């Protein structure tokens, strides 16, 4: 079996409800026609981008790789000032990057989550300056310096901060350049336009069709680049959506209830906590100070009481046993799941429940339990050894890493996921 080049396009928020429209567009359809597909990709819990991408590259659930959220726990820090899990050191399982390096393969990653300071040959990590840091310097320190500088000089004028569609256009230009000039055996890129648009404008409407058309053009540019590079015939393309999104009407601020009961309080003008809800969009983690049994009992009493009232939007409270079955990071004993139409947020100074529609706001998010109805995402694989027309059925995001390892004959080791060998000759 030929095992030469693999391009993985993480099509953020590309979910089953987008399939009918996207699959008719020319470039994605060309991959579908040549390859094998499914709209039943099940994610991990919580369905957050950095958690999922850590599962992609390890083939493991969060209880093994230990990236439990986009952000480390940073109580009371405004969202725009928070650090994220930007660095590979946060992943505690072996990764496909490291496996490829052991085999001596050239690798590239473009705005791939949790890839800062990873052993990637050509790397522009997804990373953002916060609290007065210099953006360019932070990227240079965390990625491949000369490679990053060269692409910034060529294409940096295309980008306008993190605004779309400019950011994904920049990423695509970098991918095209890398394919033609570097010919890496493994290229991973993260395209975020669809996810951003859903967050800002909801999951339905003309804006979705516009993004799908832009995404198809980008996929076409990448395919064409492999033809110009002479690697098309040896390239397996994997296009995968990491999660779905759901439209939200109500934001729920459970920390306000904790503040009302003294679990969050101010001392010398500074906020302190005994118990704290760390929101993850459609889910949330309960944090309690180690050894503070009284705080845990009061927090659980508050949460169990409000869970009986529909207005607070709590669909389920998962205990330790339930979280173990979901392969959640074992540091946590309790998680909350939101009802459809609700999501959680951290602030403790807001009203407990805010009606976004009453404020004229439109919003969608993710983070929900992966078994929510209609919440799966899409996978397309096409290449020289991919069977044509195979319907894969239900698969998992933890299957992506083992499948890449199978294609490139890489030593990824034991994984929770499996290589999707049935898709290949």
Same domain, 74 and 162: yes
Residue 356 and residue 294 in one domain: yes
Pairing of strands 122-124, 335-338: unpaired
- For residues 240 and 285, membership in a common domain is answered with no
Q: Decide which of 296 and 80 is more confident.
A: 296
25 & 140 share domain: yes
- Residues 53 and 152 both lie in one domain: yes
Same structural domain, 203 and 272: no
pLDDT bin (cut points 50, 70, 90) of residue 386 is very high
Report how far residue 403's alpha carbon sits from residue 423's, in angstroms, rounded to the nearest whole number: 10
Q: Which two tokens stand for residue 368?
A: 């929900």
First to last CA, the chain: 8
Chosen domain end from 323, 347, 365: 365
Residues 353 and 300 in one domain: yes
Read off the tokens for 416: 């929770």
Name the residue range of residue 276's domain.
247-365
Strand residues in 208-331 grouped as ranges (E): 235-240, 246-252, 264-267, 270-273, 275-279, 283-288, 314-318
Q: Which two tokens stand for residue 365?
A: 């998010």
Q: 136: pLDDT confidence band, cut at 50, 70 and 90?
A: confident
301: domain CATH number?
3.30.1360.110
Q: What percent of the chain has pLDDT over 90?
A: 96
Q: What angle do CA 179, 182, 188 make, to 5 degrees?
A: 55
Nearest to 282 by CA among 309, 255, 259, 313: 313
In this prediction the pTM is: 0.97
Contact criterion met (CB below 8 Å) for 275 and 289: yes
For 181, other C-beta atoms within 10 Å of its C-beta total 11
Give the pLDDT mean for 313-338.
98
The mean-pLDDT minimum among 14-28, 129-143, 305-319, 338-352 falls in: 129-143
How does pLDDT run across 334-359, given as a tens digit for each residue?
A: 999 999 999 999 999 999 999 999 99
Measured distance CA(323)–CA(130) in Å, rounded: 32
Task: Give the pLDDT confidence of 171-196 residue by residue, as tens digits.
Answer: 999 999 999 999 999 999 999 999 99
Residues 256 and 184 in one domain: no
Mean of pLDDT values over 70-79: 96
Tokens of 158: 């295309």
Pairing of strands 36-42, 377-382: antiparallel
Residue 236 in 3-state DSSP?
A: strand
Residue 282 scores a pLDDT above 60 = yes
Whichever domain contains 234, its CATH number is 3.40.720.10
- Write out the two tokens for 401: 């890493």
Domain count, the chain: 2
Predicted local confidence at residue 59, as pLDDT: 98
The pLDDT value given to residue 3: 54
Q: CB–CB of 284/376 below 8 Å?
A: no
Angle at 339 between CA 359 and CA 367, to 5 degrees: 90
The H or E element that residue 19 is part of is: helix 19-22
What distance lies between CA 252 and its chain's CA centroid?
Answer: 22
Burial of 197 (0-12, 13-18, 19+ CB in 10 A): buried
Same domain, 215 and 353: no
Residues 55 and 128 in one domain: yes
Encode pLDDT of 187-228 as tens digits: 999 999 999 999 999 999 999 999 999 999 999 999 999 999
pLDDT for the residue 395: 98
How far is residue 188's CA from residue 229's CA, in Å, rounded to a whole number?
Answer: 17
Question: pLDDT-based confidence at 134, cuts 50/70/90?
Answer: confident
- pLDDT value for 1: 43
Q: Are residues 206 and 288 in the same domain?
A: no
* Mean pLDDT estimate for the chain: 97
Residues 99 and 33 in one domain: yes
- Rounded-to-integer distance, Cα 179 and Cα 230, Å: 10
């Amino acid at each position: 079996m030929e095992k030469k080049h693999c391009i993985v396009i993480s099509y953020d928020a590309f979910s089953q409800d987008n399939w009918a429209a996207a699959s008719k567009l020319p470039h994605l359809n060309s991959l579908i026609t040549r390859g094998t597909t499914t709209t039943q990709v099940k994610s991990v819990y919580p369905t957050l981008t950095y958690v999922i991408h850590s599962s992609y590259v390890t083939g493991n659930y969060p209880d093994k790789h230990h990236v439990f959220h986009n952000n480390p726990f940073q109580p009371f820090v405004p969202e725009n000032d928070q650090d994220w899990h930007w660095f590979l050191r946060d992943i505690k399982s072996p990764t496909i990057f490291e496996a490829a390096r052991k085999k001596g393969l050239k690798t590239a990653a473009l705005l791939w989550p949790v890839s800062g300071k990873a052993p990637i040959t050509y790397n522009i990590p997804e990373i953002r300056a916060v609290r007065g840091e210099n953006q360019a310097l932070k990227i240079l320190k965390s990625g491949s310096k000369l490679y990053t500088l060269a692409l910034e000089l060529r294409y940096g004028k295309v980008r306008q901060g993190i605004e779309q569609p400019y950011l994904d256009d920049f990423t695509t230009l970098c991918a095209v350049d890398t394919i033609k000039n570097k010919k890496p055996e493994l290229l991973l890129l993260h395209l975020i336009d669809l996810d951003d648009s859903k967050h800002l404008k909801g999951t339905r409407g003309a804006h979705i069709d516009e993004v799908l058309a832009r995404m198809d053009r980008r996929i076409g540019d990448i395919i064409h680049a492999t033809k110009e590079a002479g690697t098309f015939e040896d390239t397996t393309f994997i296009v995968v959506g990491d999660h779905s999104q759901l439209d939200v009407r109500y934001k729920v601020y459970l920390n306000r209830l904790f503040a009302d009961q003294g679990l969050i309080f101010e001392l010398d003008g500074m906020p302190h906590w005994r118990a704290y809800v760390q929101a993850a969009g459609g889910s949330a983690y309960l944090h309690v100070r180690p050894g503070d049994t009284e705080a845990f009992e009061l927090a659980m009493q508050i949460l169990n009481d409000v869970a009986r009232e529909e207005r607070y939007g709590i669909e389920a409270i998962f205990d330790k046993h339930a979280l173990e079955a979901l392969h959640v990071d074992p540091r946590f004993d309790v998680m909350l799941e939101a009802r459809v139409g609700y999501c959680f947020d951290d602030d403790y100074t807001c009203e407990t429940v805010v009606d976004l529609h009453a404020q004229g706001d439109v919003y969608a998010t993710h983070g929900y339990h992966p078994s929510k109805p209609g919440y799966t995402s899409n996978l397309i694989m096409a290449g020289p050894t991919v069977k044509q027309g195979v319907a894969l059925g239900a698969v998992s995001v933890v299957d992506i890493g083992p499948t890449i390892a199978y294609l490139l004959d890489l030593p990824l080791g034991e994984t929770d996921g499996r290589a999707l060998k049935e898709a290949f000759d």
